């Protein structure tokens, strides 16, 4: 799934915000199913076999989420049965089912987003708006592995000195705390050194007038990025128009309405389907192109 | 371009966000996302609530040292999650956020809390829950900053704050769980969510108290020393 990864961070974020936004906040059944299928295809392309390991988790999560709603929500007019004197309605069961689909779809989309948007891409985005904050974040990100290494060093030293023992759970905890305390001293001193060193090298932290800090940017906004964003906006416009027209409106309560498939409703469904499948389409196009080029060599 | 925004313009942006954007988003959310308006509004307002505080940090002119200290405390709280990973729910994040707030001010506490949420989610997975964690941990830090003096003096108050912070974190997160799932705030469902997370909440509150009491002595001393030695 390298095609989508190569896009500019802004493009990736715009795409994901639109797709997850519709999934989270517009819970029309057909839309939810389309989004879930899209998320599944995306995940398969992105994760491959890794996805199999998380299927039991998704399945249990789905089951749990679907069951909760009818137990707590007694809206709806079609009574299925009574449980401990509580009404279980058909509408609540349907709603719970589709909410579970929504939750699973959102989880899968965000998992894909986490893979595509590594922390450096996020820092690039934050950096345009809040350079100071992005600096703090990138420093903290670098410190985390450093601290984990340092913790190991301290641990070994303390053990060798016989300063901590691991006889019981309690002494183990006390030992961890002691290591952490040493860690804090070391890192605070380290922080001051870093700060002084930065100042010595000309890092100006005050907001001087006309002071401009340059930064290293590794991302180019290409024509394909513009095209993709334009496509996303266009599709969003088409399906928003469809939603506002009421061609595909649906309500779960008080009685679950019937799904209408008319000529008018096909357009927003198709638009959403294309939107959700965009990364997969791009990837497949790229693979076909590759085969074509290879055969021509 | 974005880079040329002055301090004054940022202040204007802040006011626009607070007084115009939030009501507009609530109104738009009600119109467009009929069925899911509460989920949308909850998420939007949470994100916007974090923005003014993060922007304040941007225009502050305090020393480079404080900047690095925040980075270090954030990294410590994230790395601490791995050091104490043996016991589930036993995390030093809140304790570090509170200590940072007590010694370096509420704003530093807010940032340490909010950034800890973002950074640890780079490892545990980002999602719509990230802004809520940011706000919850951030607010725990901000309030601790307001209460810095009494918290510094009394260990009883400090442990009490640890318990309240642990409970508050679960309560804020469960609001989102309930609203996101059902797009309404059903007390029964909220109570059920709270009850199901109760063992975790208790563990969390207990670990807060343990960490705070154990750290305020040795680590508090170190922070004080850094403060007096380097004048932060």
pLDDT along chain A (297 residues), means of 10: 84 91 87 93 88 89 86 78 80 89 91 88 84 87 89 89 78 81 88 87 65 76 92 90 79 76 83 92 88 84
Whole-angstrom Cα distance, residue A236 to residue A18? Answer: 8
Residues B212 and B224 occupy one common structural domain:
yes
Predicted local distance difference test score (pLDDT) of residue B85: 67
Q: Closest chain B residue to A101 measured between Cα atoms?
A: B181
Whole-angstrom Cα distance, residue A86 to residue A83? Answer: 5
Q: Do B65 and A192 touch (CB under 8 A)?
A: yes
Predicted local distance difference test score (pLDDT) of residue B159: 92
Residues B74 and B51 occupy one common structural domain:
no
Helix or strand run (H / E) with residue B22: helix B22-32
User: pLDDT band at residue B62, thresholds of 50, 70 and 90?
Assistant: low
Q: At A164, list the tokens.
A: 């901590």
Total number of domains constituting chain B: 2
Predicted local distance difference test score (pLDDT) of residue B4: 53
Predicted local distance difference test score (pLDDT) of residue A162: 82
Residues B120 and B100 occupy one common structural domain:
yes
Domain hosting B139: range is 63-230
Pick among B33, B67, B194 to test the A interface (most A CBs inside 10 A): B67
Predicted local distance difference test score (pLDDT) of residue B2: 47
Q: ipTM, 2 decimals? A: 0.82
pLDDT above 90 as % of chain B: 20
* Average pLDDT of the residues of chain B: 82
Whole-angstrom Cα distance, residue A29 to residue A38? Answer: 14
Residues B175 and B206 occupy one common structural domain:
yes
Residues B172 and B202 occupy one common structural domain:
yes
Residues B138 and B176 occupy one common structural domain:
yes
Q: At A166, list the tokens.
A: 């691991």
Of B203, B181, B200, B201, residue with least CA distance to B190: B181
Whole-angstrom Cα distance, residue B29 to residue B39? Answer: 9
Predicted local distance difference test score (pLDDT) of residue A77: 77
Q: Distance, in angstroms, between A281 CA and closest chain B CA?
A: 25
| pLDDT, mean of residues B74-83 | 83
Predicted local distance difference test score (pLDDT) of residue B1: 40
Whole-angstrom Cα distance, residue A114 to residue B126? Answer: 6
- Point out the residue among A72, A143, A198 whose CB comes nearest to the CB of B75: A143
Residues B13 and B54 occupy one common structural domain:
yes
Residues B89 and B74 occupy one common structural domain:
yes
Domain C-terminal end among B31, B46, B61? B61
Domain C-terminal end among B61, B79, B98? B61
Residues B37 and B90 occupy one common structural domain:
no
Chain A contact present for B68, CB below 8 A: yes
Q: Give start and end residues of each alpha helix (H) in chain A.
A: 2-5, 9-25, 29-47, 50-53, 55-72, 90-116, 119-129, 131-161, 169-200, 223-245, 263-296
Predicted local distance difference test score (pLDDT) of residue A73: 77
N- to C-terminal Cα separation, chain B: 33
Residues B37 and B92 occupy one common structural domain:
no
Question: Secondary structure of A107-163 in the HEC alphabet?
Answer: HHHHHHHHHHCCHHHHHHHHHHHCHHHHHHHHHHHHHHHHHHHHHHHHHHHHHHHCC
Whole-angstrom Cα distance, residue A205 to residue B179? Answer: 41
């Amino acid at each position: 799934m390298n095609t989508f990864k190569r896009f500019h961070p802004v493009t990736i974020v715009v795409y994901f915000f639109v797709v997850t936004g519709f999934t989270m906040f517009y819970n029309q059944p057909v839309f939810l199913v389309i989004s879930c299928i899209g998320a599944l295809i995306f995940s398969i392309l992105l994760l491959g076999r890794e996805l199999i390991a998380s299927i039991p988790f998704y399945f249990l999560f789905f089951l749990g989420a679907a069951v909760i709603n009818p137990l707590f929500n007694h809206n709806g007019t079609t009574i299925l049965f009574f449980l401990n004197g509580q009404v279980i309605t058909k509408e609540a069961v349907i709603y719970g089912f589709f909410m579970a689909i929504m939750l699973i779809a959102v989880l899968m989309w965000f998992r894909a987003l986490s893979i595509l948007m590594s922390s450096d891409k996020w820092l690039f985005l934050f950096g345009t708006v809040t350079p100071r904050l992005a600096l703090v974040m990138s420093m903290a990100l670098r410190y985390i592995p450093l601290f984990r290494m340092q913790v190991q060093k301290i641990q070994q030293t303390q053990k060798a000195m016989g300063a901590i023992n691991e006889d019981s759970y309690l002494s183990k905890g006390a030992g961890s705390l002691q290591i952490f305390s040493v860690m804090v001293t070391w890192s605070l001193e380290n922080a001051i050194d870093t700060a002084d060193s930065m100042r010595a090298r000309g890092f100006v932290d005050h907001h001087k007038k006309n002071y401009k800090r340059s930064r290293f940017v590794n991302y180019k906004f290409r024509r394909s990025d513009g095209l993709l964003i334009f496509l996303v906006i266009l599709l969003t416009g088409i399906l928003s128009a469809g939603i506002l027209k009421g061609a595909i409106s649906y309500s779960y309560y008080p009685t679950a309405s019937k799904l209408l498939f008319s000529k008018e409703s096909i357009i927003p469904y198709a638009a959403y389907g294309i939107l959700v499948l965009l990364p997969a389409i791009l990837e497949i196009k790229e693979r076909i192109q590759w085969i074509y080029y290879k055969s021509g060599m | 371009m974005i880079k040329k925004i002055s301090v004054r313009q940022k202040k204007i942006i802040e006011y626009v966000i607070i007084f115009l954007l939030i009501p507009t988003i609530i109104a738009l959310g009600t119109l467009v996302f009929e069925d899911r308006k509460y989920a949308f509004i909850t998420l939007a307002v949470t994100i916007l609530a974090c923005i003014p505080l993060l922007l304040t940090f941007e225009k502050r002119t305090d020393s480079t040292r404080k900047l690095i200290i925040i980075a270090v405390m954030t990294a410590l709280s994230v790395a601490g999650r791995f050091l104490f990973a043996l016991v589930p729910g036993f995390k030093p994040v809140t304790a570090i956020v509170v200590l940072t707030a007590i010694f370096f001010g509420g704003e530093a506490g807010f940032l340490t809390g909010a950034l800890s949420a973002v950074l640890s989610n780079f490892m545990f997975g980002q999602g719509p829950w990230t802004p809520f964690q940011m706000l919850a941990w951030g607010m725990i830090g901000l309030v601790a900053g307001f209460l810095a003096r009494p918290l510094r003096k009394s260990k009883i108050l400090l442990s009490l704050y640890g318990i309240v912070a642990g409970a508050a974190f679960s309560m804020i997160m469960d609001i989102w769980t309930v609203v996101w799932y059902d797009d309404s705030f059903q007390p029964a469902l909220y109570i059920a969510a709270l009850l199901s997370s109760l063992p975790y909440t208790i563990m969390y509150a207990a670990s807060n108290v343990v960490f705070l009491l154990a750290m305020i002595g040795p680590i508090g001393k170190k922070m004080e020393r850094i403060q007096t030695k380097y004048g932060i």
